[in-house]
Amino acid sequence: MSPPHIAVYGATGHTGRLVAADLRDRGAEVILAGRDGNALKAMSEELSGALVHEAALDEPASLRDLAGSADVLIHCAGPFTDTGRALATAAAQAGCHYVDHALEQHHTKWMFDTMGRPAREAGITMVTAMSFYGGLGDLLAGAAAAGMTGVDRVITAYSVTGWRLTTGARKTAELLFADTRRITYTDGAEHVGYVEPRNAVFPFPPPLGPRTMIAPVPFPEVVTVPRHVAARQVEAQLTAHTFEEEQAFTSEHVDAATRAGSHFTVAAQVITPDGNRAGQARGHDLWRMSALASVEAAVRLAGGRGPGPGVFGPAEAFPAEPFLRDLERLGLFRLTLQEER
């Protein structure tokens, strides 16, 4: 059997490099794609001659050609508010499976609202929000809520230290926190409008313990989690100190080793009138975690182990706990799932 052809758009960025290198290590035929032909060619030499496809976002024919040459397209070039529609549309038109790293709520909602029919007609699987922020929380919520009914509330909580934003991540963060039309999920329904942020305390299990959080933060769990967990309310939270670290916004050009120095604890709490369950992942290097999660998704899709045609979030596309256990075996984090109490 010939190896799968997997295209990586945004291949020369930090996440794209991690994705491409891991795909090559797994024996996939990697197609490096993006807007900077010279940077792509230089990276191809680093990877012993990987295929190169230069394509700008305003070149739909070239993007379709890219998708048409691949079994799966992994989209790594944010902000996805600006880049997502062109790549997702090209994938559907070419009949190519698609995975993205988006964490923007409105892009995720657009994927579900707009791309479902084209994906089904093309017979492809599209997985959106397969990232650290949003994706890991969605998977943990799915694993913790498995088999539960009567869920009142799902909270995903991110504790992050040492985060070093890339240029794309900084632009994404600026877009997210400037957005006054945030999506929330309360009383069993989506709502769109201005939300006044508040401080909350999330009870992370030991050794981390309770932490002051910004709540809510505009992550995609409010869109993805209700698709597989029947909850009345879904909310994402982030430790207040994460953005108080000045270097987070002033370190776009640090080296890869420095960028890998982040540490995280991500938890999902599923609350019912009779008790609750929780899932937690503790690890380091959120960028590598995000990259390898998308690789795991793409390899499954290329091997015919997807959910079928349509658009899906991470825990909707793949059984949550087995997927997390596979990521744990890669050394990305330590997973803990607590029984109902």
Q: What is the pLDDT of residue 99?
A: 98
The CATH architecture to which 133-285+323-338 belongs is 2-Layer Sandwich (3.30)
Q: What is the pLDDT of residue 199?
A: 96
**Residue 309 reports pLDDT greater than 90:** yes
Its pTM stands at 0.96
Q: What is the pLDDT of residue 340?
A: 59
Q: What is the pLDDT of residue 246?
A: 72
Q: What digits encode the pLDDT tens for the residues 13-53? A: 999 999 999 999 999 999 999 999 999 999 999 998 999 99
Q: What is the pLDDT of residue 249?
A: 75
Q: Boundaries of CATH 3.30.360.10 in the chain?
A: 133-285+323-338
Q: What digits encode the pLDDT tens for the residues 133-185? A: 999 999 999 999 999 999 999 999 999 999 988 888 888 988 888 888 999 99
The CATH architecture to which 5-131+290-320 belongs is 3-Layer(aba) Sandwich (3.40)
Q: What is the pLDDT of residue 74?
A: 98
Q: What is the pLDDT of residue 270?
A: 97
Q: What is the pLDDT of residue 177?
A: 82
Structure tokens at 337: 């799932």
- Quick one: what percent of the chain has pLDDT higher than 70? 99
Q: What is the pLDDT of residue 206?
A: 87
- Across 116-125, average pLDDT: 98
- Across 259-275, average pLDDT: 94
**Residue 341 reports pLDDT greater than 60:** no
